[in-house]
């Protein structure tokens, strides 16, 4: 019996879609893992100051007091992690990150008194260029709102200054501006110090509606969660 060409064409499409789904689920490289903690930057062992050795001892506030600036070339990034359901594939995690991050923090004794961070969202990249293109016009709408910012509004009391090689956890309270909307948020962060560098990492759940965002949609995306995770890893250097 002869099978009509339209039926063969449809069958071919189904088979190709199925193979694409199998490839996506089992053979596609895994995306970046979630940010779970801070690790010292390898090789960042230069002394913080040329002052006497007593002031460079672990925990000496004079050795690290002052302004620390983000080093965008040392692995700093800000990104997102969102659950989505794709046609013929199923549930997946979309992960996008931008290394276009700038900013600084000010440390006075054992207290962080100021934090200013700006992220260039037009540089967000995931494993799918079509997704990146959609975010320029949907959801984040980076064509209209190219940057996100965070400004600390309450000092962070660390209790004591962490020594070289030590880490500390803290809560950063401040104003997050995303998609043109500013909200007060609290971000749980971890910081690890190594020589002249401090690596700060953390994440926060973002409800899209809180920032006037609508989940993106397309013919290959069946659904997107109404919330996501904003992740960050920032390497600060003294001076």
Specify the CATH architecture of the domain 35-238.
Beta Barrel (2.40)
Question: Among 71, 126, 125, which Cα is nearest to 103's?
Answer: 71
The predicted-structure confidence for 134-167, as pLDDT tens digits, reads as follows 899 989 999 999 999 999 999 999 887 778 888 8
Per-residue pLDDT band for 23 (boundaries 50, 70, 90) equals very low
Q: What pLDDT is attached to residue 44?
A: 42
Per-residue pLDDT band for 193 (boundaries 50, 70, 90) equals confident
Question: Among 187, 200, 112, which Cα is nearest to 155's?
Answer: 112
Read off the pLDDT of each residue in 60-71 and give the average, rounded to a whole number. Answer: 79
Q: How far apart are CA 179 and CA 16, in angstroms?
A: 37
In the chain the beta strands, taken as DSSP E runs, fall at 66-70, 77-86, 90-98, 101-108, 111-120, 147-152, 156-157, 167-178, 181-194, 197-207, 221-224, 227-238
Q: What pLDDT is attached to residue 42?
A: 42
pTM recorded for the entire structure: 0.76
Percent of the chain with pLDDT over 70: 70
* Mean pLDDT of all residues belonging to the chain: 78
Read off the pLDDT of each residue in 17-24 and give the average, rounded to a whole number. Answer: 38
Per domain, the residue ranges of the chain are 1-30, 35-238
Per-residue pLDDT band for 223 (boundaries 50, 70, 90) equals low
Eight-state DSSP code of residue 23: I
Res 204 pLDDT > 60: yes
Tokens at residue 111, please? 């207290």
């Amino acid at each position: 019996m002869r099978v009509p060409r339209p039926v063969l064409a449809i069958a071919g499409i189904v088979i190709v879609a199925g193979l694409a789904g199998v490839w996506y689920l089992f053979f596609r490289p895994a995306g970046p893992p979630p940010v779970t903690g801070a690790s010292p930057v390898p090789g960042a062992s230069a002394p913080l100051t040329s002052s006497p050795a007593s002031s460079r001892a672990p925990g000496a506030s004079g050795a690290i007091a002052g302004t620390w600036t983000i080093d965008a070339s040392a692995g700093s990034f800000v990104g997102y992690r969102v659950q989505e359901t794709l046609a013929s594939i199923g549930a997946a995690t979309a992960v996008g990150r931008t290394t276009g991050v700038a900013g600084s923090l000010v440390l006075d004794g054992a207290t962080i008194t100021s934090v200013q961070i700006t992220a260039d969202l037009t540089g967000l990249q995931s494993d799918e260029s079509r997704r990146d293109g959609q975010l320029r016009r949907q959801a984040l709408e980076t064509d209209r709102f190219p940057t996100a910012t965070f400004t600390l509004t309450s000092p962070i009391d660390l209790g004591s200054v962490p020594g070289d090689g030590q880490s500390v956890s803290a809560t950063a309270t401040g104003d997050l501006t995303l998609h043109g909307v500013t909200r007060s948020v609290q971000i749980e962060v971890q910081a690890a110090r190594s020589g002249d560098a401090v690596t700060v990492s953390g994440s926060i759940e973002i409800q899209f509606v809180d920032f006037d965002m609508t989940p993106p949609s397309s013919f290959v995306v069946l659904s997107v969660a109404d919330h996501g995770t904003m992740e960050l890893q920032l390497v600060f250097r003294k001076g």
